[in-house]
Amino acid sequence: MKKLIGYLAVLTILTSCTSQKMLSIYQTSGVEIAQNSSGADILNKYNTSRPITALHSSLSLCIAQELDNGPVVLASENYSGSLWWPYYNVPSQQAITVSGGDTIKLVEGNHVVANAVTDYLYHTKYFISYILTATRHQNNIHYLFSNIKQAHQYTGSVVNDGFENVKTLESVHPNLVIDALNKEADKIQECLLR
């Protein structure tokens, strides 16, 4: 009986450490889920449209002004200390600079394709890189976000692996990624109406 209780305790601890899928992301309008090479569910694409009646600025101009594709520095840091003494941050040589580049990749007719990076905060800073294809229609702008990847700015004592696909796990915050992408579309919309 003691072995069974011990086994159940270990099983409970192990299952509580694993992150569960964020079920709400599967019902989020415009989200397309795919599987990576390991079979894990990832955010593949995100589509959204915003109504527009009058354009005061061009779509490509607003994308160039409002989106950023600058270089991003990702790092890991070493900590020393214990539960009873303060942590001391010891700088590490584990830094990765992910080069940016031109934001606008292509302008063709009513379509603009751009590379960009944005971020959000959840205890620490996370960066999101993506490709945006924006299409101007008569009454709306359609935004297609693809190649969506995420990276922690600082990973503590763990090596920073850089940008990776966004899994649908709660611990990866796919809902905050979608919120950040919506804010990018909102910035472009505001520019178009100025």
Domain residue extents for the chain: 20-193
Give the model's pLDDT for residue 1.
54
The whole-angstrom separation of Cα 160 and Cα 127 is: 12
Give the model's pLDDT for residue 16.
44
First to last CA, the chain: 72
Give the model's pLDDT for residue 170.
94
Give the model's pLDDT for residue 2.
54
Give the model's pLDDT for residue 194.
84
The whole-angstrom separation of Cα 41 and Cα 172 is: 12
Task: Name the β-bridge partners of 79.
Answer: 89
Q: Which residues of the chain have pLDDT under 50?
A: 4, 6-17, 80-85, 88-89, 92
In residues, how long is the chain? 194
Give the model's pLDDT for residue 13.
45
Q: What's the Cα-to-Cα distance from 129 to each of 55, 56, 133, rounded to whole Å?
A: 27, 28, 13
Give the model's pLDDT for residue 7.
47
Which structure tokens are listed for 154? 């600082």
CATH topology classification for 20-193 = Alpha-D-Glucose-1,6-Bisphosphate; Chain A, domain 4 (3.30.530)
